[in-house]
Amino acid sequence: EVQLVESGGGLVQAGGSLRLSCAASGFRFNDYFIAWFREAPGKAREGVSCIRNSDGQTFYADSVKDRFTISSDNANNMIFLEVNNLKPEDTATYYCAAAHALHLSLVTEYLYTHLYDNWGQGTQVTVSS
């Protein structure tokens, strides 16, 4: 059974940083893309970043690529998202999601929710001004 468990969210002042973690289990980690999405109140869920575990290639939404960094610890099946210089508009629930790389083999844009069929429960990030 695929399981994704996020942690690391919290309340932080604008300009601050957090490190979000996603613990993955139940699948061959290196065969998957792992992505971070976020959902703010009243807004659609949006892709933030993803990593292709087979080779470590990373992808970012334009809105965060200068402030967020995704990384993986393949030995421990962990994915991290370093979020820096946080802004109030970054306030959202952040979700970890997984998709088998074969399902994305014909895809060139990886940050769409419909591409991922395994989701965690989310971790809340609140940025105060």
pLDDT digit string (tens) for the chain, length 129 residues = 999 999 999 999 999 999 999 999 999 999 999 999 999 999 999 999 999 999 999 999 999 989 999 999 999 999 999 999 999 999 999 999 999 998 888 888 999 999 999 999 999 999 999
pLDDT tens readout for residues 9-37 = 999 999 999 999 999 999 999 999 999 99
Q: Residue 44, SS3?
A: coil
Mean pLDDT (the chain, rounded)? 95
Assess contact for 68 and 89: CB atoms under 8 A.
no
As a whole number of Å, the end-to-end CA separation of the chain is 40
In this predicted structure, what is the pLDDT of residue 105?
A: 84
CB neighbour class for 70 (10 Å; exposed up to 12, middle 13-18, buried from 19): buried
Tell me the CA distances in angstroms from 99 to 67, 70, 88, 123, one per residue in order: 24, 16, 29, 19
